Amino acid sequence: CAVMPVIRVLFLGDVIGQSGCRALFINLKSITKKIKADMVIVNGENANEGFGMTAEIMTAFFKSGVDVITSGNHIWQHKEIYPYLESEDKLLRPENYVESLPGKGNCLIIKKGIKMAVVNLQGRMFLSALRCPFKIGRETARRLSRETKIIIVDFHAESVEEKEALALYLDGQVSSVIGTHTHVQTADEKVTALGTGYITDVGMTGATDSIIGMRHEEPLVRFLNGIPKKFEVAKKDVELQGVFVDIDSVSGKCKSIERIKEALK
């Protein structure tokens, strides 16, 4: 009998400003080809000068080979993107924001003839008091499981504890729970007991000679003096950081998850 394929998903961490966008546009096609990725998911909520997304950047992401754009708390920064949250199925905002806001928090996509789902959730610890990501996450996963067993979750959250708890809560119900938001790549990637791939944070696509992708000067002023100052995107030592996840196309179980760090060419 025919062996059903393993689907390989490339997930890249938060793209930070112009330097991160440049790294994505220059390197994505070669990385996708090198690792033989079938689908590409990118968190784009910091793409416009470190905060938010614009229609122009969104279009450039899709043209560069991105299949789905996820986001988080900064997606609301620029109102020009709001109509696109409604009209563009593959641009997501977290599912657990109130339903009256523009956009949607999940989508279905077909690659290699196989249907897959992507879900975007946001944590509540140290962030806004949204609807419960645990309840909404489980309800969404159960609904999507009628369509596909392959479900990839971007959990945009600050707390390691909350991210680990969600992965345990959804263990075996989704293919992967991939953490974003902190911009610092963690070294705890694993496949859980019931077959869910997990990492606390995939890191960022941006300048590593920085404070979470921003120039040193402005955050230091804020920390030393308590004076608010507009952050500027850093430009030195740019990397693409993320993971690629191999998923069984029949069961939806994660077979493996591996970190990547790719310097800008």
Catalytic residue IDs: 74
Give buried/exposed letters for 56-88 (b at 16+ CB in 10 A, else e).
ebbeebbebbbbbbbbbbbbbbbeebeebbeeb
Question: Which two structure tokens, joined as six digits, stand for 170?
Answer: 């959804």
Strand ranges in the chain using DSSP code E only, listed in sequence order? 6-12, 14-15, 39-43, 68-70, 106-111, 114-122, 151-156, 176-180, 190-191, 197-199, 204-207, 238-248, 254-263
262 neighbors 21 (Cβ within 8 angstroms): no
Distance CA 225, CA 4 (A): 59
Q: Which residues contact 33 (CB under 8 A, 6 or more apart)?
A: none
Q: Which residues contact 53 (CB under 8 A, 6 or more apart)?
A: 44, 45, 47, 69, 71, 75, 77, 78, 81, 91
End-to-end CA distance of the chain: 43
Distance CA 97, CA 161 (A): 21
